[in-house]
Structure 1
Amino acid sequence: MLNALKLTAMASVLAMATACTAAPDVYHSAHASFRLETIATGLEHPWSLAFLPDGSILVTERAGRLRLIRNGQLQAEPMAGVPELVVAGQGGLLDVILHPQFSDNQLLFLSYAHENSEGKTTRVSRARLDDNQLSDGQVIFEARPRSGTSHHFAGRMAFDLENNLLIAVGDRGDRDRAQDTSDDAGSVHRITVEGAAAPGNPFLGSPDHSPTLFSYGHRNIQGMTQHPVNGEIWTHEHGPRGGDEINILAPATNYGWPAITYGIGYSGLAISDETARPGMAQPLHYWAPSIAPSGMAFYTGTEVPAWQGNLFVGALKMQKLVRLRIENGKVSEEEDLISDFGRRIRDVRMGPDGRLWLLTDDSNGEVLRLIPE
C-alpha cells in the first residue's frame, strides 16, 4: 500500500509539469544544466513545504496560512484549523512536517510563533489532516521562558530514526540564553509525537536541564534534515556577520554560541575572541561572510548522478542555491548555483519525483522545481 501511495504521489507531481510555467533561463553548473519550473506563485512569504501521498503539496505562509497545491494549482482558500499564532517580526507560521506514518494516521506537525501576556515563544502543534482541513489540534511543545522579542524563533523540525521529533528553538535575540541548559532557547529539543521528553534524552532527570533538551549553543537554526543513508540529523544556523554553520547533531553537545563563533556582531565589534574551546563542537562547515542559509536537502534523485548524496542549501542574503559535496566528514566541493537568481530562497526539499524543490521568500513567493536538461 505504501509503495502504491508513493507511486501515486510521484505520478501526480510529475503531471504538474503540464499545468505549470517553465522559466526560459537555463542555468549551467559543473555537473548539470537545468531550468527552474514555476509551480505556484502568489504565496505570502512561504516558509516550508511538505509532499502529501496523493501528490498534493502543503505550503506554510509566515502570515499564518497553510495552503494546498493540488494538480499544479494553488487552492484559493487556506486550510482551516491552523492553531492560534502571532505574526510578528520573524515569527508566524513556520515549518510543516508529516508524521513518518502519515499514510496511516494523517498526522502532521506545525511550528509557529505564539504570544500571550508573558511574551512570545516557539510552539509546535500536532493535527490530523482531514478533508483538506486540520482537526484534533494539540499543542505538544512550547519553549520556555517566553520573551518580548520577535526574532530568532528557529522552528525547523525533523524526525530521527526512532520517530522522535527534533525541534529547533532560536536564542530569541538574547545570545547568553543559548548556554543556559535550564532555558529552552538556543537549543534543539527531542520529543515523542505525544509531546513527552523522548526516551534516551541526554539530560532526563537532571534538575539543571530541560528534559527535552538534546543539544544547545545554537543561535538560530534555519535548516534541519535527516541524512538519507545513516539517519544523522544535519542542521545549519545563522551566524551574525559571518559564522553561518553546518552541524551534525549529537546528544548533549554544546555547539558553542556565543562563546565561540566565526562571526562578529552587526556593529562590527567582536562577540567572542575565540573560535574554539574544549567541550564545544566545531562546525562541519561555516561561511564568512554570511549567506543566511535557509532550508536544506540531500540529493537522492537519479537524473544527475554526480549530485548523489550532495547537500543543497538555500540562501536568503546571497539569494542563491549552494551545492556541497561531503567526503570523509568534510566539504570537498562547494558550488554556487543560480547565483544571479535575485530572490531569497527560504526552503529546499527533495520531492517524490526525485527533483529539488525551492520556496522563494517574498510577498509574492513561489514554489519552484529544478529540472535537469
Structure 2
Amino acid sequence: MENNKFLRLAKKILWLFFAFFWMIQTASGETILQTSRGGVTFQIKTIAKGLGVPWGMVFISPDQILFTERNGKIGILAPASGKIIRISGGPKVMRTGQGGLLDVAVPPDYTSGDWIYFTYSKEQKGKGVTALARARRKGNRLVALEDLLVTRSASSTGRHFGSRIAFDGAGHLFFSVGDRGVRPNAQNLSTHAGSILRLDLNGNVPEDNPFVHQTGALPEIWSYGHRNPQGMFYDRNQQRLWSIEHGPRGGDE
C-alpha cells in the first residue's frame, strides 16, 4: 500500500511538471480543459509564452518560479501575471544536442540569498560533460558562481546528459548524469556517466557513500546502471529517492 501511495504521488508531481512546460509554450492566457486516463478532469492555463526549451523550475517564493532554458537563459516567472524577469550571470553552457542549461533547484530550507544549484553541459577539451554548479542571486543577477563537480562523463555525443537535482533535507544532494549515449558507461564505476551522484551541499563526498572505499570506483556515485535519468524526487518521510528515465524504445522506466 505504501509503495502504491508514493507511486501515485510521484505521478502527480510529474504530471504537474510536464504540464508546466507544455502550457508555457501555448498562447498566453488560454485555458484548456483536459481529462486524464484515470478520468480526472483538470485545467491547463497558459501563463507565459515565447520561450525556447524550458528545462528546470523551482519555486523560490510562493509567487515566484525560477526557471532555466536549455539555451542558457534564466528567468523568474510570476505565475499570477505571466511576467518574466531575466537573470544574468549563469554558467557558460556547451549547447550541443540535448545539452545546455539543465536543472535548477534549491534546498528545502531556502531563503532569499541562499545558494541556488544548477546542472549544465560544460565544454571540456572539445567534448561535453555534465557539471553541477551553484550561485547566489543578488537582484537580477547571479553572483559567486562556482562549479562543485565537473563530472567524468566526457563524450563527443550530444546525448544523455541527464540531469535532475534532489535534496534529502539532511545536508545532501543527488544529481543524475546520463550514460552520454554510450551504454557500457552505466556499468563502469570509473566514470560518472550513467549514474546518480550524492554530495554534501558544499560539493564534498559523504563518508557513507556506497563506493567511497572501493578501489577503482568514483566516490561520488550513489547508484549506477542508469540510461538517462531526467526525473527525481526524494521522499523525506520514507527516506527514498525516486527516479525515472527514458527507455530505449520510448516511454519511461
Query: TM-score, normalization: structure 1?
Result: 0.57
Who is 2:102 aligned against?
A: 94
Label 1:29 to 1:146 Cα distance change in 2 as closer, same or farther (>3 A).
closer
Who is 2:81 aligned against?
A: 72
Contact in 2 for aligned 1:24/1:35 (Cα 8 Å): yes
Who is 2:238 aligned against?
A: 230
How many residue pairs get aligned? The number is 225
Per-residue deviation, 1:207: 2.2
AA matched with 2:239: G
Contact in 2 for aligned 1:118/1:146 (Cα 8 Å): no
Query: TM-score, normalization: structure 2?
Result: 0.83
Render the CA deviation track for 1:140-182: whole Å, top value 9, x for unaligned.
Answer: 0111041211110001110124231101010001100110111
Q: Which has the larger radius of gyration?
A: 1
AA matched with 2:76: L
Seq. identity, %: 36
Per-residue deviation, 1:72: 2.4
Contact in 2 for aligned 1:161/1:231 (Cα 8 Å): no
Mapping for residues 68-217 of structure 1, pairs under 5 Å: 68-70=76-78, 71-75=80-84, 78-103=86-111, 105-217=113-225
Superposed CA RMSD? 1.9
Using the TM superposition, name which of 47-56 and 66-75 deviates more: 66-75
Contact in 2 for aligned 1:143/1:184 (Cα 8 Å): yes
CA distance in 2 between counterparts of 1:144 and 1:29 reads 41
Who is 2:9 aligned against?
A: none
| Aligned structure 1 segments of 4 or more residues deviating by more than 2 angstroms | 24-32, 70-75
AA matched with 2:246: H
CA distance in 2 between counterparts of 1:220 and 1:130 reads 33
CA distance in 2 between counterparts of 1:145 and 1:215 reads 15
Who is 1:278 aligned against?
A: none
* Residue segments in structure 1 that go unaligned for 5+ positions in a row: 1-19, 246-373
CA distance in 2 between counterparts of 1:49 and 1:88 reads 21
CA distance in 1 between counterparts of 2:212 and 2:34 reads 52
Mapping for residues 32-43 of structure 1, pairs under 5 Å: 32-43=40-51
* Residue segments in structure 2 that go unaligned for 5+ positions in a row: 1-27
CA distance in 2 between counterparts of 1:166 and 1:85 reads 21
Contact in 2 for aligned 1:85/1:115 (Cα 8 Å): yes
Render the CA deviation track for 1:317-368: whole Å, top value 9, x for unaligned.
Answer: xxxxxxxxxxxxxxxxxxxxxxxxxxxxxxxxxxxxxxxxxxxxxxxxxxxx
Contact in 2 for aligned 1:85/1:92 (Cα 8 Å): yes
